[in-house]
Amino acid sequence: MKRAAYILVFLCIAVALVACSSEGNDSSSVFESSADLTESSQAQSNAEKESEKNEDEGSNEANDAGTNILVAYFSCTGTTEQIASYINLETDSDIYEIIPKIPYTEEDLDYTSSDSRTTIEQNDSTARPEIEDPISDIDEYDVIFLGYPIWHGQAPRIISTFLESYDFAGKTIIPFCTSHSSGIGSSAENLHDLCADTATWNEGQRFSSDTSENEIAEWISDLELPEGEEYAVGEFNFETKTVLLNSGYEMPIMGLGTYSLTDDECAVSIEALLKAGGRLIDTAYMYGNEAAVGQAIRDSDVPREEIFVITKLYPSQFDNAAEAIDEALEKMGLDYIDMILLHHPGDGDVEAYLALEQAVADGKVHSIGLSNWYIEELEEFLPQVNITPALVQNEIHPYYQENDVIEYIHSLGIVVQGWYPFGGRGYTAELLGDETITAIAENHDVTAVQVILRWNLQKGVVVIPGSSNPEHIEENLDLFDFELSAEEIEQINALDRNEKHDWY
């Protein structure tokens, strides 16, 4: 997440080069995206190295077009690992080491023995050694550099395991191997049948143990890598299920609203959200559950940087906004808050927003915005502040659509988020039972809830439905296996009554 905003940090693993025809036993595991790296001295050193490289040579063109690249490799002695690290640095990519559940010993790698593990596996085309720590986000990558040593003239069978474990449809795979004397031969071609027919395979390349980083750079510069699809600020990416904010951060386009949830309900709901793959959580000072939200996030196994947290300052806090921001951080027990909004207009709102701007400068908050601001309020407010809001959150549902407001906010480069997507308490049953909506739901074999949420997404409105029911939370996230037609969108648009259900 926040791919556009994080400073890319890459892991360069220093290992001794071994000049040999086969690889021995490796022990280290590396699967670190740029957002996952710790601030160890090694990471800092490599960050400095990469920064200097970019200053001297300019940003590498291999990954300038929005292409997401993964370097996946299997290594035993470190030779393939070294080449993979060079590719990683040169392409601004993520890196993943393919590690067997049962490590290879020196005896396993005795190629002269017909009884050794490698010999037995390589002679068995059905052998599939198990892999530790599978990749959870392979769909995010457009290009896979796939590295391995040559064993008995072919790729190790664990590479077959890797290729059969994921869907590589539409992806480009660039194989590379390491060996002392033999080339890549037919090892790469023999892997093609293990992938979807729509995967594109580049010609493989062999490298020796003494290959330099400059040689890798020259090789990559000659490759014609596919251009990834670039998304503009405010444009929804339905593949990554995120939107790029004008602050440079990426935010999920669907999540969980915690209004009216008690502390216990918050814990259960957030656990269900994260388990189902949701990563956006909306809370507020006035909800009285910020501490519970923060505790649930800290208790989860999901890395903090993958979770996007929104909270809000209430007008009663505007006079002491700086203290209120610190209070929110302390309550939630977080090092930073992804976004803070002003809950609705009120006396001192400009000064409170300027305090939010300072919190951004201080690194306490990543993005800032507004809630319950409409055209007239925005026209008066925006000339008085320095940072354009990244988000405006308003009541939006089929009976209160505010289409002119959405269009206006979008025209400013601001993302729109809707609360009360089902009309709010006292109105939900009527909206979910609307004949137009239920007919569309039946046509797609989905629920009325899913139709309404999908309608929002296709209009460019981020959704944060509230629920304490894990099944409903999962249902609210399951929005990407169907698409509403233009005619269906218009049918729902025709339901607008300009019927606001709350006073904000």
Which residues are identified as catalytic? Answer: 287
Amino acid in position 344: H
Strand order in the sheet with 308-313: 256-257, 280-282, 308-313, 337-342, 365-371, 391-395, 415-419, 461-463
DSSP 234: T
Q: Which residue is listed with tokens 């996946």?
A: 72
Report the chain's C-alpha Rg in angstroms: 26
Q: How far apart are CA 18 and CA 75, in angstroms?
A: 12
Return d(Cα 313, Cα 69) in angstroms, integer.
39
| CB neighbour list of residue 85: distance below 8 Å, 6 or more residues apart | 11, 12, 13, 95
Closest Cα partner for 257 from 418, 414, 373, 410? 418
Give how far Cα 437 sits from Cα of 254, 257, 397, 406, 484, Å: 20, 22, 12, 21, 11
Burial of 98 (0-12, 13-18, 19+ CB in 10 A): buried
Which own/partner contact pairs does 435-442 have at CB distance under 8 Å and 24+ positions apart?
Answer: 436/491, 436/492, 436/494, 436/495, 437/398, 437/492, 437/495, 440/484, 440/488, 440/491, 440/492
Closest CA to 422 of 257, 267, 287: 257
d(CA 144, CA 173): 5
* Cα dihedral 259, 260, 265, 271 in deg (nearest 10): -10
Tokens linked to 389: 């809001």
